Structure 1
Amino acid sequence: MTSEQALEIVRSRYAQPMLPDGTPAPMHVHEFDIGYLVYATFPPTTDAAGRPRPSPPGGSKIVVAKDSGETVTVPNYPNDKAIALYRRQHQPDA
Structure 2
Amino acid sequence: MTDSDQSGSVPGLPPTPPPLPPQTGPQTVPANADEALEIGREHYPEVGSPGGPSGLFVHEFDIGYLIHASWPPAEDPTAPPANPGGSNVVISKADGEVSFLPNFPPEEAVELYHRLRGGRTS
Q: What TM-score bracket applies, with the shorter chain setting the length? A: 0.7 to 0.9
**TM-score (normalizing by structure 2):** 0.61
Partner in structure 2 of residue 38 of structure 1: 67
The answer for unaligned runs of 5 or more in structure 2 is 1-30
Q: Quick one: structure 1 residues 42 and 3, their matched pair in 2 at CA, closer, same or farther if it must change by over 3 Å?
A: same
**TM-score (normalizing by structure 1):** 0.77
Identity %: 40
Q: Quick one: structure 1 residues 93 and 32, their matched pair in 2 at CA, closer, same or farther if it must change by over 3 Å?
A: closer
Q: CA deviation at 1:57?
A: 2.4
Q: Deviations over 1:5-50 (max 9, x none)?
A: 11111224x242565x627521110111111100111122242xxx
Q: Which runs of 4+ in 1 moved over 6 A?
A: none
Comparing 29-38 with 54-63, greater Cα deviation is found at: 54-63
The answer for unaligned runs of 5 or more in structure 1 is none
| Structure number with higher relative contact order (C-alpha < 8 Å, ≥ 6 residues apart) | 1
CA distance in 2, matches of 1:57, 1:79: 18
RMSD: 2.3
* Alignment length (residue pairs): 88
Partner in structure 1 of residue 109 of structure 2: 82
* Aligned partner letter, 2:94: D
